[in-house]
Amino acid sequence: MFVIPPYQKQFRWKEVNSRNIVLDVYRAREKSAYRLGQIVIYKDEAGRLLVIDGYQRLVSLYLIAKAASIPCTFTGEREYTKESIKLIKSSYHEVKRALKSVDIDKFKSYFLKKTEIIIFTTTSLPDAFRFFDSATVRGKALDPTDLLKAYHLCAMRDVSEDDMAKVANEWEEYGKDRLHDLFELWYPLRCWAMHRPSSVFKDSEIGAFEGVEEDSKYPFTKSISPSHYSITQTIVDGKRFFALVKYANKLERRLSSLLDKFAPDLSKRVIAEFGSSDVGSAYTFLLFRSLLFLYLDRFGEESFDKAIETCFIYAFAPRMENQGIIWDDINNYILSPGSLFNTIERAIDPYEVISYDFERNLSGMRNTRQKNGERNRLIDFTKDFDFLWEVK
Protein backbone atom coordinates (compact mmCIF):
# COMPACT_ATOMS: atom_id res chain seq x y z
CA MET A 1 0.00 0.00 0.00
CA PHE A 2 1.34 3.40 -0.97
CA VAL A 3 1.32 6.33 1.44
CA ILE A 4 0.94 9.90 0.20
CA PRO A 5 3.12 12.19 2.38
CA PRO A 6 1.21 15.18 3.80
CA TYR A 7 3.59 17.59 2.05
CA GLN A 8 2.55 16.23 -1.36
CA LYS A 9 0.30 18.57 -3.29
CA GLN A 10 -3.33 17.54 -3.72
CA PHE A 11 -4.57 15.89 -6.91
CA ARG A 12 -4.35 18.65 -9.51
CA TRP A 13 -4.34 16.94 -12.88
CA LYS A 14 -6.99 18.22 -15.25
CA GLU A 15 -9.44 15.77 -16.79
CA VAL A 16 -7.58 15.91 -20.09
CA ASN A 17 -4.41 14.44 -18.50
CA SER A 18 -6.14 11.23 -17.43
CA ARG A 19 -8.04 10.99 -20.72
CA ASN A 20 -4.82 11.43 -22.70
CA ILE A 21 -3.24 8.43 -20.98
CA VAL A 22 -6.08 6.27 -22.33
CA LEU A 23 -5.72 7.66 -25.85
CA ASP A 24 -1.91 7.55 -25.81
CA VAL A 25 -1.93 3.90 -24.75
CA TYR A 26 -4.47 2.97 -27.40
CA ARG A 27 -2.58 4.78 -30.16
CA ALA A 28 0.58 2.87 -29.15
CA ARG A 29 -1.11 -0.57 -29.22
CA GLU A 30 0.92 -1.76 -32.24
CA LYS A 31 4.22 -1.00 -30.52
CA SER A 32 6.19 -3.61 -28.61
CA ALA A 33 5.81 -1.62 -25.41
CA TYR A 34 4.69 1.79 -24.13
CA ARG A 35 6.19 3.55 -21.12
CA LEU A 36 3.76 5.32 -18.80
CA GLY A 37 6.40 7.32 -16.95
CA GLN A 38 8.05 6.86 -13.59
CA ILE A 39 7.24 6.74 -9.91
CA VAL A 40 9.68 7.74 -7.16
CA ILE A 41 9.16 5.89 -3.88
CA TYR A 42 10.80 6.45 -0.51
CA LYS A 43 10.73 3.43 1.79
CA ASP A 44 10.91 4.75 5.34
CA GLU A 45 12.19 3.01 8.48
CA ALA A 46 8.72 1.64 9.19
CA GLY A 47 8.60 0.03 5.75
CA ARG A 48 5.98 2.46 4.40
CA LEU A 49 6.13 3.28 0.69
CA LEU A 50 5.88 7.08 0.42
CA VAL A 51 5.16 8.45 -3.05
CA ILE A 52 7.58 11.33 -3.73
CA ASP A 53 6.87 11.73 -7.44
CA GLY A 54 4.20 10.20 -9.67
CA TYR A 55 1.22 10.55 -7.35
CA GLN A 56 -0.93 12.28 -9.99
CA ARG A 57 -0.12 9.52 -12.46
CA LEU A 58 -0.86 6.75 -9.95
CA VAL A 59 -4.31 8.15 -9.23
CA SER A 60 -5.03 8.44 -12.95
CA LEU A 61 -3.92 4.86 -13.58
CA TYR A 62 -6.19 3.71 -10.76
CA LEU A 63 -9.13 5.58 -12.30
CA ILE A 64 -8.42 3.98 -15.67
CA ALA A 65 -8.29 0.50 -14.11
CA LYS A 66 -11.59 1.05 -12.30
CA ALA A 67 -13.31 2.46 -15.41
CA ALA A 68 -12.07 -0.48 -17.52
CA SER A 69 -13.12 -3.04 -14.86
CA ILE A 70 -9.53 -4.12 -14.32
CA PRO A 71 -8.86 -5.53 -10.81
CA CYS A 72 -6.66 -3.08 -8.91
CA THR A 73 -5.47 -3.15 -5.30
CA PHE A 74 -3.85 0.30 -5.29
CA THR A 75 -4.64 2.42 -2.24
CA GLY A 76 -3.13 5.72 -1.24
CA GLU A 77 -3.74 7.02 2.26
CA ARG A 78 -4.48 10.73 2.50
CA GLU A 79 -7.21 13.28 3.04
CA TYR A 80 -8.52 14.99 -0.06
CA THR A 81 -9.79 18.54 -0.41
CA LYS A 82 -13.21 19.18 -1.97
CA GLU A 83 -11.49 20.57 -5.05
CA SER A 84 -9.39 17.40 -5.48
CA ILE A 85 -12.41 15.14 -4.98
CA LYS A 86 -14.23 17.09 -7.68
CA LEU A 87 -11.27 16.74 -10.06
CA ILE A 88 -10.98 13.01 -9.36
CA LYS A 89 -14.67 12.47 -10.09
CA SER A 90 -14.61 14.50 -13.30
CA SER A 91 -11.38 12.74 -14.40
CA TYR A 92 -13.06 9.38 -13.84
CA HIS A 93 -16.02 10.36 -16.02
CA GLU A 94 -13.65 11.68 -18.71
CA VAL A 95 -11.73 8.38 -18.65
CA LYS A 96 -14.97 6.42 -19.05
CA ARG A 97 -15.91 8.60 -21.99
CA ALA A 98 -12.50 8.04 -23.60
CA LEU A 99 -12.77 4.27 -23.15
CA LYS A 100 -16.05 4.26 -25.08
CA SER A 101 -14.17 5.56 -28.13
CA VAL A 102 -11.71 2.64 -28.26
CA ASP A 103 -11.87 -1.15 -28.60
CA ILE A 104 -12.01 -1.94 -24.91
CA ASP A 105 -10.68 -5.50 -25.24
CA LYS A 106 -7.63 -4.39 -27.25
CA PHE A 107 -7.04 -1.56 -24.82
CA LYS A 108 -7.18 -3.81 -21.75
CA SER A 109 -4.90 -6.39 -23.33
CA TYR A 110 -2.25 -3.86 -24.27
CA PHE A 111 -2.64 -1.91 -21.04
CA LEU A 112 -2.05 -5.03 -18.91
CA LYS A 113 0.62 -6.76 -20.99
CA LYS A 114 2.65 -4.13 -22.83
CA THR A 115 2.61 -0.91 -20.83
CA GLU A 116 5.52 -0.22 -18.50
CA ILE A 117 6.19 2.08 -15.59
CA ILE A 118 9.58 2.70 -13.97
CA ILE A 119 9.57 2.58 -10.18
CA PHE A 120 12.57 4.10 -8.43
CA THR A 121 12.66 3.00 -4.79
CA THR A 122 15.17 4.21 -2.21
CA THR A 123 15.56 4.22 1.57
CA SER A 124 17.20 7.69 1.39
CA LEU A 125 14.81 10.63 1.32
CA PRO A 126 17.46 13.03 -0.08
CA ASP A 127 18.14 10.56 -2.92
CA ALA A 128 14.40 10.39 -3.64
CA PHE A 129 14.14 14.16 -3.95
CA ARG A 130 17.31 14.38 -6.02
CA PHE A 131 15.84 11.85 -8.44
CA PHE A 132 12.61 13.84 -8.48
CA ASP A 133 14.61 16.97 -9.36
CA SER A 134 15.78 15.37 -12.62
CA ALA A 135 12.41 13.90 -13.57
CA THR A 136 10.28 15.06 -16.51
CA VAL A 137 6.51 15.15 -16.95
CA ARG A 138 5.30 14.07 -20.42
CA GLY A 139 8.58 15.15 -21.96
CA LYS A 140 8.57 18.68 -20.49
CA ALA A 141 11.06 20.04 -17.99
CA LEU A 142 9.73 20.38 -14.49
CA ASP A 143 8.66 23.81 -13.34
CA PRO A 144 11.59 25.53 -11.55
CA THR A 145 9.36 26.50 -8.61
CA ASP A 146 8.43 22.82 -8.17
CA LEU A 147 12.11 21.92 -8.16
CA LEU A 148 12.86 24.57 -5.56
CA LYS A 149 10.04 23.33 -3.37
CA ALA A 150 11.31 19.74 -3.59
CA TYR A 151 14.95 20.73 -3.01
CA HIS A 152 14.24 22.75 0.12
CA LEU A 153 11.74 20.27 1.56
CA CYS A 154 14.49 17.70 1.26
CA ALA A 155 16.91 20.06 3.04
CA MET A 156 14.67 20.57 6.09
CA ARG A 157 16.19 19.13 9.26
CA ASP A 158 14.48 17.93 12.46
CA VAL A 159 11.03 18.85 11.16
CA SER A 160 7.91 16.72 11.52
CA GLU A 161 5.88 15.62 8.51
CA ASP A 162 3.03 17.83 9.72
CA ASP A 163 5.32 20.88 9.71
CA MET A 164 6.58 19.93 6.26
CA ALA A 165 2.97 19.65 5.12
CA LYS A 166 2.24 23.13 6.47
CA VAL A 167 5.21 24.60 4.60
CA ALA A 168 4.24 22.79 1.39
CA ASN A 169 0.62 23.94 1.66
CA GLU A 170 1.69 27.56 2.15
CA TRP A 171 3.82 27.25 -0.99
CA GLU A 172 0.89 25.88 -3.00
CA GLU A 173 -1.39 28.65 -1.73
CA TYR A 174 0.80 31.25 -3.45
CA GLY A 175 -0.34 29.80 -6.77
CA LYS A 176 1.80 28.99 -9.78
CA ASP A 177 1.30 32.35 -11.52
CA ARG A 178 2.13 34.23 -8.33
CA LEU A 179 5.36 32.27 -7.82
CA HIS A 180 6.39 32.79 -11.44
CA ASP A 181 5.87 36.56 -11.17
CA LEU A 182 7.81 36.72 -7.90
CA PHE A 183 10.80 34.74 -9.13
CA GLU A 184 10.88 36.57 -12.48
CA LEU A 185 11.35 39.78 -10.50
CA TRP A 186 13.70 38.33 -7.89
CA TYR A 187 15.96 36.04 -9.93
CA PRO A 188 17.84 38.75 -11.91
CA LEU A 189 18.73 40.55 -8.66
CA ARG A 190 20.33 37.45 -7.20
CA CYS A 191 22.36 36.91 -10.37
CA TRP A 192 23.53 40.53 -10.47
CA ALA A 193 24.40 40.39 -6.77
CA MET A 194 26.71 37.48 -7.67
CA HIS A 195 28.23 39.67 -10.46
CA ARG A 196 26.97 37.46 -13.26
CA PRO A 197 24.36 37.97 -15.98
CA SER A 198 20.85 36.65 -15.53
CA SER A 199 18.77 34.75 -18.07
CA VAL A 200 15.27 33.30 -18.15
CA PHE A 201 14.37 31.70 -14.83
CA LYS A 202 14.09 28.00 -15.65
CA ASP A 203 14.89 24.60 -14.15
CA SER A 204 18.63 24.92 -14.88
CA GLU A 205 18.79 28.26 -13.02
CA ILE A 206 17.49 27.25 -9.58
CA GLY A 207 21.04 27.30 -8.23
CA ALA A 208 20.53 31.03 -7.63
CA PHE A 209 18.16 29.99 -4.82
CA GLU A 210 20.24 27.18 -3.33
CA GLY A 211 22.65 27.83 -0.49
CA VAL A 212 24.26 26.47 2.64
CA GLU A 213 22.87 23.77 4.91
CA GLU A 214 20.97 24.77 8.05
CA ASP A 215 23.71 23.41 10.31
CA SER A 216 26.63 24.89 8.38
CA LYS A 217 29.55 25.80 10.68
CA TYR A 218 31.42 28.08 8.28
CA PRO A 219 32.31 31.41 9.91
CA PHE A 220 30.51 33.52 7.30
CA THR A 221 27.17 31.84 8.08
CA LYS A 222 27.22 33.25 11.63
CA SER A 223 26.37 36.67 10.20
CA ILE A 224 23.15 35.39 8.56
CA SER A 225 20.31 36.44 10.84
CA PRO A 226 17.71 33.74 11.63
CA SER A 227 14.94 36.33 11.93
CA HIS A 228 15.76 39.14 9.45
CA TYR A 229 15.83 38.68 5.71
CA SER A 230 17.20 40.28 2.58
CA ILE A 231 16.41 39.26 -1.00
CA THR A 232 20.11 39.12 -1.96
CA GLN A 233 21.35 37.37 1.18
CA THR A 234 23.06 33.99 1.21
CA ILE A 235 20.36 31.32 1.02
CA VAL A 236 20.06 28.94 3.96
CA ASP A 237 18.51 25.71 2.67
CA GLY A 238 15.34 24.26 4.17
CA LYS A 239 12.85 26.06 6.39
CA ARG A 240 14.82 29.34 6.31
CA PHE A 241 14.40 29.43 2.52
CA PHE A 242 10.62 29.12 2.81
CA ALA A 243 10.62 31.93 5.38
CA LEU A 244 12.67 34.06 2.97
CA VAL A 245 10.16 33.42 0.16
CA LYS A 246 7.35 34.47 2.49
CA TYR A 247 9.23 37.70 3.22
CA ALA A 248 9.92 38.32 -0.48
CA ASN A 249 6.27 37.74 -1.35
CA LYS A 250 5.12 40.32 1.21
CA LEU A 251 7.78 42.74 -0.01
CA GLU A 252 6.61 42.46 -3.62
CA ARG A 253 2.99 42.99 -2.56
CA ARG A 254 4.07 46.14 -0.76
CA LEU A 255 6.00 47.27 -3.85
CA SER A 256 2.87 46.96 -6.01
CA SER A 257 0.82 48.88 -3.43
CA LEU A 258 3.35 51.73 -3.27
CA LEU A 259 3.50 51.98 -7.06
CA ASP A 260 -0.27 52.27 -7.16
CA LYS A 261 -0.06 55.01 -4.54
CA PHE A 262 2.76 57.13 -5.94
CA ALA A 263 2.61 56.34 -9.68
CA PRO A 264 -0.92 55.17 -10.53
CA ASP A 265 -1.50 53.79 -14.04
CA LEU A 266 2.25 53.80 -14.71
CA SER A 267 2.03 50.87 -17.13
CA LYS A 268 -0.57 52.82 -19.14
CA ARG A 269 1.82 55.74 -19.38
CA VAL A 270 4.57 53.48 -20.68
CA ILE A 271 2.22 52.02 -23.28
CA ALA A 272 1.08 55.48 -24.33
CA GLU A 273 4.72 56.52 -24.78
CA PHE A 274 6.23 53.42 -26.40
CA GLY A 275 3.32 51.27 -27.63
CA SER A 276 1.61 48.13 -26.34
CA SER A 277 3.81 45.54 -28.07
CA ASP A 278 7.26 46.99 -27.41
CA VAL A 279 9.62 44.27 -26.15
CA GLY A 280 12.29 46.75 -25.11
CA SER A 281 9.83 48.54 -22.85
CA ALA A 282 8.81 45.23 -21.26
CA TYR A 283 12.45 44.46 -20.40
CA THR A 284 13.11 47.94 -19.04
CA PHE A 285 9.90 47.92 -17.01
CA LEU A 286 11.00 44.63 -15.40
CA LEU A 287 14.37 46.24 -14.67
CA PHE A 288 12.59 49.24 -13.12
CA ARG A 289 10.52 47.04 -10.79
CA SER A 290 13.53 44.89 -9.86
CA LEU A 291 15.56 47.95 -8.85
CA LEU A 292 12.67 49.26 -6.73
CA PHE A 293 12.29 45.79 -5.21
CA LEU A 294 15.94 45.98 -4.12
CA TYR A 295 15.52 49.54 -2.83
CA LEU A 296 12.45 48.61 -0.76
CA ASP A 297 14.30 45.63 0.68
CA ARG A 298 17.25 47.80 1.70
CA PHE A 299 15.69 51.11 2.76
CA GLY A 300 11.99 50.45 3.21
CA GLU A 301 9.58 53.24 2.29
CA GLU A 302 11.94 56.13 3.05
CA SER A 303 11.82 58.62 0.12
CA PHE A 304 10.11 55.96 -1.97
CA ASP A 305 8.42 58.46 -4.31
CA LYS A 306 11.84 59.86 -5.20
CA ALA A 307 13.24 56.35 -5.64
CA ILE A 308 10.48 55.62 -8.17
CA GLU A 309 11.63 58.55 -10.30
CA THR A 310 15.31 57.63 -10.04
CA CYS A 311 14.79 53.95 -10.86
CA PHE A 312 12.43 54.71 -13.72
CA ILE A 313 14.74 57.20 -15.43
CA TYR A 314 17.70 54.84 -15.05
CA ALA A 315 15.76 51.81 -16.34
CA PHE A 316 14.21 53.56 -19.35
CA ALA A 317 17.29 55.50 -20.50
CA PRO A 318 18.41 52.55 -22.71
CA ARG A 319 14.93 52.43 -24.25
CA MET A 320 15.22 56.13 -25.12
CA GLU A 321 18.43 55.32 -26.96
CA ASN A 322 17.52 52.06 -28.69
CA GLN A 323 14.24 50.29 -29.39
CA GLY A 324 15.88 46.97 -30.24
CA ILE A 325 16.75 45.97 -26.68
CA ILE A 326 17.49 42.35 -25.79
CA TRP A 327 18.02 40.99 -22.30
CA ASP A 328 21.79 40.81 -22.78
CA ASP A 329 21.72 44.60 -23.13
CA ILE A 330 20.07 44.84 -19.69
CA ASN A 331 22.71 42.55 -18.18
CA ASN A 332 25.57 44.60 -19.64
CA TYR A 333 23.93 47.83 -18.45
CA ILE A 334 23.54 46.60 -14.87
CA LEU A 335 26.95 44.92 -14.61
CA SER A 336 28.83 48.00 -15.84
CA PRO A 337 30.69 50.26 -13.36
CA GLY A 338 28.54 52.98 -11.84
CA SER A 339 25.22 51.19 -12.38
CA LEU A 340 22.27 52.12 -10.20
CA PHE A 341 22.10 48.51 -9.03
CA ASN A 342 25.59 48.82 -7.52
CA THR A 343 24.64 52.16 -5.97
CA ILE A 344 21.54 50.71 -4.25
CA GLU A 345 23.36 47.63 -3.05
CA ARG A 346 26.24 49.61 -1.52
CA ALA A 347 24.47 52.79 -0.35
CA ILE A 348 24.27 53.44 3.39
CA ASP A 349 21.19 55.67 3.14
CA PRO A 350 18.42 56.42 0.58
CA TYR A 351 19.90 59.78 -0.37
CA GLU A 352 22.84 58.16 -2.14
CA VAL A 353 20.28 56.52 -4.41
CA ILE A 354 17.90 59.40 -5.10
CA SER A 355 20.83 61.75 -5.79
CA TYR A 356 22.24 59.37 -8.45
CA ASP A 357 24.28 61.40 -10.95
CA PHE A 358 22.76 60.56 -14.34
CA GLU A 359 24.88 63.04 -16.31
CA ARG A 360 28.13 61.52 -15.05
CA ASN A 361 27.21 57.83 -14.95
CA LEU A 362 25.18 57.79 -18.17
CA SER A 363 27.12 60.41 -20.08
CA GLY A 364 26.79 60.17 -23.84
CA MET A 365 23.43 58.39 -23.86
CA ARG A 366 21.28 59.81 -26.63
CA ASN A 367 17.56 60.14 -27.28
CA THR A 368 17.31 58.76 -30.81
CA ARG A 369 13.51 58.75 -31.03
CA GLN A 370 11.75 61.05 -33.45
CA LYS A 371 9.68 63.44 -31.37
CA ASN A 372 8.82 67.12 -31.80
CA GLY A 373 11.22 67.29 -34.71
CA GLU A 374 14.18 66.33 -32.51
CA ARG A 375 16.24 63.18 -32.79
CA ASN A 376 19.62 61.79 -31.88
CA ARG A 377 20.44 64.30 -29.15
CA LEU A 378 21.70 63.80 -25.60
CA ILE A 379 19.02 62.61 -23.19
CA ASP A 380 17.57 65.32 -20.98
CA PHE A 381 17.13 63.33 -17.77
CA THR A 382 14.38 65.67 -16.59
CA LYS A 383 12.25 66.75 -19.55
CA ASP A 384 12.41 63.49 -21.52
CA PHE A 385 10.67 61.62 -18.69
CA ASP A 386 7.72 63.95 -18.10
CA PHE A 387 5.38 61.16 -19.19
CA LEU A 388 6.20 59.37 -15.93
CA TRP A 389 3.79 61.69 -14.15
CA GLU A 390 1.10 62.34 -16.74
CA VAL A 391 -1.26 60.03 -18.63
CA LYS A 392 -1.19 60.70 -22.35
Task: Please measure the distance between the N-terminal and C-terminal CA atoms of the chain and give it in whole angstroms.
Answer: 65
Q: Residue 233: which of 220, 249, 250 has the closest Cα?
A: 220
Residue boundaries of the structural domains of the chain: 2-140, 143-250, 263-388
pLDDT digits (tens, 9 = 90+) for 249-262: 999 999 999 999 99
**Mean pLDDT within 256-280:** 86
**Residue type for position 187:** Y
pLDDT at 22 over 70: yes
Coil/strand/helix, residue 42 = strand
pLDDT digits (tens, 9 = 90+) for 326-369: 999 999 999 998 999 999 999 999 999 999 999 999 988 888 87
Average pLDDT, the chain: 85
Q: In this prediction, what percent of the chain has a pLDDT beyond 90?
A: 39
pLDDT at 79 over 90: no
pLDDT for residue 127: 67
pLDDT for residue 371: 61
Q: Where are the beta strands (DSSP E) in the chain?
A: 2-3, 34-43, 49-53, 76-77, 115-122, 136-137, 140-141, 366-367, 377-378
Q: Are 387 and 318 in contact (CB under 8 A)?
A: no
pLDDT for residue 137: 43
**Mean pLDDT within 161-167:** 82
**Mean pLDDT within 164-175:** 87
Using alpha carbons only, how large is the chain's radius of gyration in Å?
26
